[in-house]
Amino acid sequence: MMETSDPPIVKLPQKRFYRQRAHSNPISDHNFNYPSHPKELYKDKCPDNKTWDELYPSRGDRKVEFADVGCGYGGFLVSLGETFEDKLSIGMEIRVKVSDYVMDRIESLRALHPGKYQNIACIRTNSMKYLVNYFEKGQLSKMFFLYPDPHFKKSKHKWRIINPSLLSEYAYVLREGGLLYVVTDVEDLYKWMTSHFDAHQSFKRLSLEEEKQDILHDKLLNRSEEAQKVERNHGSKFLAIFKRI
Amino acid sequence: MESFKNFLIFSPDYQKLIAFVSTEDQTQNFTIEVDWNYPINNIKPKLFLENQENADNDDEGKKQNGSEEKISLNNIAVTEENNLLAYTATDKTLFLWQIDEKSAKIVSRRSFLRTSSCIRFSKCGKILFLTDKTGDVFEYLCDEENFNTRGRWIFGHISQILDLAVTIDLKYLITSDRDEKIRVTNYPKVHEINSYCMGHKEFVSAIAIISDSHLISISGDKCIKLWNFIDGKELQSHSFQFVPVLLKVISHSHQTGLLCVSSIENTVYIFKYLIIDDTMTLDTLAEKQFKSDVELAVLNNEFYIEYIRDNDDSLKSGIFIDRVKIEDKTVNFQKIFDNIALSETDISIKIVKPFDVSLLFKHGRMFDNVKEYNDRKKARIENKMKSKKAK
Ligand SMILES: C[S@@+](CC[C@H](N)C(=O)[O-])C[C@H]1O[C@@H](n2cnc3c(N)ncnc32)[C@H](O)[C@@H]1O
């Protein structure tokens, strides 16, 4: 039963109010609020930012362990939270409206299912620049990069969210043995990314067998909005999982 | 400005000449001309590790072809040991000279990819690190067999790099950027980030290593911070009344030394520092306001300040250099050099800062697309409420 002080009807947010141009430039400075050090979000208050306790009302002394980077409309994030109920997952999204949609979505889910969905949250940020403002060395055990923007032009390869510079940063926030998941529907991008992982000494790809056995395997391929779009267009999907060594 | 033996080295016009000014005997001064016809090794370093071609049409390149803009010199570095001087130029070439007390000769001119922001040699002088405005770091070997070897990409930030420091033992490269970050990268395993020193709230304009584990940084947030860079821990922060831009350090021991800091308004401050139990106290010894931009250098445990001033005996302006003479607690700014005896040559003297600090501030001057969106969303919801009420 819903409490009477709550708004009488809670509806999931409607996506049509939150649509936004697909690509934003991750290199330019838009107005972002971010902590100047990860420890700031563990305080009682952090000016201009929500603290971890504000984002996860029943956090206790847990820290975020899973990050869905470029989470889009959050379909996979929701599923991730359902799969790992005792782990905290964060969605990071650069687009204002899209991240706002995810925040509203989580709020409605929490209202519709009291006590549930307490373990997921979304922040608007440019993860390519501010990841280490949020996470300490070795804090994360899983990172997800699902259907990242391809940035086809060669001169824009630096904008790719998986690139050799950033792989070192991902290796820094991931603990040893942690996993990094990549899925794309663009074969060239898949080749480009996997070649950079191969060249990077902090990552080792799992075997196909191990990849198939991952509990998230199927969800990676069909839970996010982008995955469903690819599905509708009968596109192919390429998946790879790397271990932080 | 850099130093070599008893010389201060700088280019008075960032174009034609490089001046070597002796701090002991003005008759030893000499200049060399930059040979812009020296052949370029056009083999550029590759961005990232791969076998792929570089993004060919980088927009900066285009700009240069179109305009009449003259090529000029940019960043300078000098080795401590094997007598090398390096300058980057705006045509994206890296000049290397072998120098001695009387002359200098070019030994190579190698290409790089994007406008450089800083160059530094390793202590041994065999490796030069070049950072650029798009955030990448390249390594150029500078031992004799490799004078002309092409550069190699080693790692990157997603932000303009403003300064780079190398530990004496070459175990770490430390880089600071416009996004308030200081990154400590292992060397030679450059794919490993050892730590980040996080805490500044604006661009980190300069860093200096002062002991095996201590680092000092200055930032557009007006703070000077002391770090243990090995574990990325902030030990202390002091606020200045001004925005610091340039930083030079003379360490007397692991605990004590002197700092020379210039401000955005071209005031130069001299501080004595003392570090006890990871806390730093700063004692202001002197400050002096200059009318032009300044450059700083350290030579034989003394600070030198380069600036531009009207000559006393002629109407021409010239390059002046002051030595900061510190005895106990009294500080004197002694003019050791004025003009460059170049007044005859038609060069236009100037001092160019490594970057335009005023363009680096982020907070409070950016387009606020979040606020715009939230305002519209609020309006939308309010409208809906109104129309509901109307029904
Ligand atoms: C093609 S979408 C995929 C979204 C989602 N993962 C899915 O599978 O539905 C890529 C998303 O990454 C976001 N993005 C791109 N660059 C980003 C960055 N630097 N930081 C955070 N998000 C970013 C984009 O705004 C976009 O929503």
Residues of chain B neighbouring A156 (CB-CB closer than 8 A): 55
**At A41, is the pLDDT very low, low, confident or very high (cuts 50, 70, 90)?**
very high
Q: Are B318 and B331 in contact (CB under 8 A)?
A: no
**Residue-level pLDDT at A2:** 42
**Residue-level pLDDT at B228:** 98
Which CATH architecture fits A50-152+160-244? 3-Layer(aba) Sandwich (3.40)
**At A28, is the pLDDT very low, low, confident or very high (cuts 50, 70, 90)?**
low
Is there a domain that residue B374 lies in? no
Closest C-alpha to B162, from B178, B151, B148? B178
Is there a domain that residue B288 lies in? yes
CA distances from B119 to A97, B85, B86, B131 (A): 41, 11, 8, 6
Higher pLDDT, A14 or B218: B218
Residues of chain B neighbouring A130 (CB-CB closer than 8 A): 179
Binding residues of A for S-adenosyl-L-methionine: 70, 93-94, 126-127, 146, 224-226
**Stated pTM of the model:** 0.92
Q: Containing domain of residue B18, as a range? A: 2-57+70-365
Q: How far apart are CA A49 and CA B182, in angstroms?
A: 22
Q: Are B89 and B75 in contact (CB under 8 A)?
A: no
Q: Are B294 and B308 in contact (CB under 8 A)?
A: no
**Residue-level pLDDT at A3:** 44
**Residue-level pLDDT at B61:** 42
In the predicted structure, residue B189 carries a pLDDT above the cut 60 = yes
Q: A93 CA to middle of ligand 1, Å?
A: 6
Binding residues of A: 70, 93-94, 126-127, 146, 224-226
**Residue-level pLDDT at B347:** 79
Is there a domain that residue B29 lies in? yes
A97/B367 Cβ within 8 A: no
Task: Measure in Å the smallest separation between the Cα of A149 and chain B Cα atoms.
Answer: 17
Within 40-79 of B, beta carbons closer than 8 Å to A belong to: 47-50, 52-59
Task: Please give the mean pLDDT across all residues of chain B.
Answer: 90
Q: A99 CA to middle of ligand 1, Å?
A: 10
The residue contributing the CA closest to ligand 1 atom 12 is A70
Is there a domain that residue B123 lies in? yes
Which phi and psi angles does A81 have, rounded to 5°? -60, -40
**What is the DSSP-derived secondary structure letter of residue A49?**
B
Atom of ligand 1 nearest to the CA of A129: 19
Higher pLDDT, B389 or A187: A187
Is there a domain that residue B373 lies in? no
**Residue-level pLDDT at B364:** 58
Which phi and psi angles does A125 have, rounded to 5°? -160, 165
**Residue-level pLDDT at A4:** 44
B58/A165 Cβ within 8 A: no
**Residue-level pLDDT at B329:** 81
The DSSP string of B67-124 is S-PPP-EEEEEE-SSS-EEEEEETTTEEEEEEE-SS-EEEEEEEE-SS-EEEEEE-TT
B192/A171 Cβ within 8 A: yes
Q: A68 CA to middle of ligand 1, Å?
A: 9
A169 contact B CB<8A: yes
Q: A126 CA to middle of ligand 1, Å?
A: 10
Q: Residue A168 is nearest to which of B134, B155, B371, comparing CB atoms?
A: B155
Tell the residue number behind the tokens 């969605």, with chain if given.
A91
Higher pLDDT, A80 or B385: A80
In the predicted structure, residue B130 carries a pLDDT above the cut 80 = yes
Residue B163 belongs to domain with CATH number: 2.130.10.10
Q: Point out the catalytic residue in the list A86, A104, A149, A188.
A: A149
Residues of chain B neighbouring A31 (CB-CB closer than 8 A): 366-371
**Residue-level pLDDT at B234:** 98
Higher pLDDT, A169 or B372: A169
Task: Answer yes or no: is the C-beta of A91 below 6 A from any ligand 1 atom.
Answer: no
Q: Residue B191 is nearest to which of A17, A30, A168, comparing CB atoms?
A: A168
Question: For chain A, what are the domain ranges?
Answer: 50-152+160-244
Percent of chain B with pLDDT over 70: 89
Q: Look at B64-68, B181-185, B207-211 and tell me which has the smallest mean pLDDT.
A: B64-68
Task: Measure in Å the smallest separation between the Cα of B188 and chain A Cα atoms.
Answer: 13
B8 contact A CB<8A: no
Is there a domain that residue B232 lies in? yes
In the predicted structure, residue A71 carries a pLDDT above the cut 90 = yes
Task: Measure in Å the smallest separation between the Cα of A36 and chain B Cα atoms.
Answer: 5
**Residue-level pLDDT at A98:** 95
A202 contact B CB<8A: yes
Q: How far apart are CA B147 and CA B170, in angstroms?
A: 20
Closest C-alpha to A135, from A105, A95, A164, A178? A178
B371/A31 Cβ within 8 A: yes
B199/A37 Cβ within 8 A: yes
Task: Answer yes or no: is the C-beta of A185 below 6 A from any ligand 1 atom.
Answer: no
Closest C-alpha to B140, from B119, B168, B158? B119
In the predicted structure, residue A1 carries a pLDDT above the cut 50 = no
Closest C-alpha to A34, from B369, B198, B235? B198
Task: Answer yes or no: is the C-beta of A226 below 6 A from any ligand 1 atom.
Answer: yes
In the predicted structure, residue B71 carries a pLDDT above the cut 60 = yes
Specify the number of domains making up chain B. 1
**A122, A147, A229: which to mutate for ligand 1, most atoms within 8 A of CB?**
A147
The residue contributing the CA closest to ligand 1 atom 11 is A70
Q: How far apart are CA A109 and CA A116, in angstroms?
A: 8
A26 contact B CB<8A: yes
Q: Testing the interface with A: which of B60, B158, B189, B219 to mutate, by most A Cβ within 10 A?
A: B158
Q: Provide the terminal-to-terminal Cα distance of chain A, rounded to the nearest Å.
A: 48
Q: A127 CA to middle of ligand 1, Å?
A: 10
Judge whether A44 counts as a catalytic residue: no
Task: Please give the mean pLDDT across all residues of chain A.
Answer: 92
Question: What pLDDT, in 10s, does the model give residues B312-346?
Answer: 766 678 899 999 999 988 999 999 998 765 555 67
**A30, A132, A157, A161: which to mutate for ligand 1, most atoms within 8 A of CB?**
A161
A195/B200 Cβ within 8 A: no
- Is the Cα torsion angle A194, A195, A197, A202 positive or negative in sign? positive
Question: What pLDDT, in 10s, does the model give residues B54-70?
Answer: 444 444 444 444 445 68
Residues of chain B neighbouring A165 (CB-CB closer than 8 A): 48, 135-136, 155-158
* Helical axes A164-173 vs A127-134, angle rounded to 10°: 20
Closest C-alpha to B240, from B257, B256, B264? B264
In the predicted structure, residue B190 carries a pLDDT above the cut 60 = yes
**A181, A226, A233: which to mutate for ligand 1, most atoms within 8 A of CB?**
A226
Question: What pLDDT, in 10s, does the model give residues A185-243?
Answer: 999 999 999 999 999 999 999 999 999 999 999 999 999 999 999 999 999 999 999 99
Is there a domain that residue B385 lies in? no
Is there a domain that residue B375 lies in? no
Residues of chain B neighbouring A244 (CB-CB closer than 8 A): none
